[in-house]
Amino acid sequence: MTVTKWTWLVIVVIYLGFFSWYSSFKVPLSPQEIEYYVEKVNGTSEELASFRKFMEEDDGDDFVMINILEMYDTPLQIEGVEPGETTDQVLGKYMEYMFPAMLSRASHPVFRGNAASLRAMDIMNADGMETWTGAAGVRYRSRRDMIEISTNPEFAGRHEFKVAALAKTIAFPVAPFSYLGDPRLILALLLGLIGCAVGWRQASSAGRA
């Protein structure tokens, strides 16, 4: 087998491995799973009803959670928050759990930015929602993955740091969605470029021989 063929074989194996890990091939949440997760979550009857509906409408595919944030100027002084720590540092303690938990399930931020205006540019029927610090979008491989992350007992203690850092927040899921920065597309283009470069180099070497 030539170097070019070996290269493309390795590229295909790498891409298929990544694609199968990054993509969700599982079926939507079953009624049994829904009941199990509802029992693990605390909330008002309205919150639980919304959570149940979110699970019942599961399509098994990925989605993005949009987070709109307003951070405290000074974090709340709860246990674990040291004097002088900034809200970014306190929120970082929350993310110490979230980042590894998300990445292990092929979930990750897709964007994050600070507010470019002191007040919302357009607002309607949302009193008290005029000011925000920033926003972020987090891609989850599936609703099952997000729920497994958020119902992990380790999450409960870390969540207090989020409460200490954020004055208010809104989070809502968006599905279906697509974006040009999808790692599956980027990796395909990168690996394809490598394969073509190797093939071109081998062809050039053979031509000079």
Could you give the 3-state DSSP secondary structure of residue 168? strand
Query: What's the pLDDT score for residue 112?
Result: 92
Displacement of CA 32 from its chain's centroid (Å): 25
With a cut of 90, say whether residue 179 has pLDDT above it: no
Maximum pairwise Cα distance, the chain: 76
In order of 8, 34, 58, 206, 209, the CA distances from 24 in angstroms are 25, 18, 12, 43, 48
Q: Which burial class, exposed, middle or buried, applies to 138 when counting CB atoms under 10 A from its CB (0-12, 13-18, 19+)?
A: buried
Domains annotated on the chain, with CATH: 62-175 (3.30.70.100)
The predicted-structure confidence for 21-32, as pLDDT tens digits, reads as follows 999 998 999 999
Give the model confidence (pLDDT) of 68-124 as tens digits. Answer: 999 999 999 988 888 889 999 999 888 888 999 999 999 999 999 999 998 899 989
Q: Taking a C-beta distance cutoff of 8 angstroms, is the pair 154, 81 a contact?
A: no
Q: Is the dihedral of CA 121, 50, 171, 72 positive or negative?
A: positive
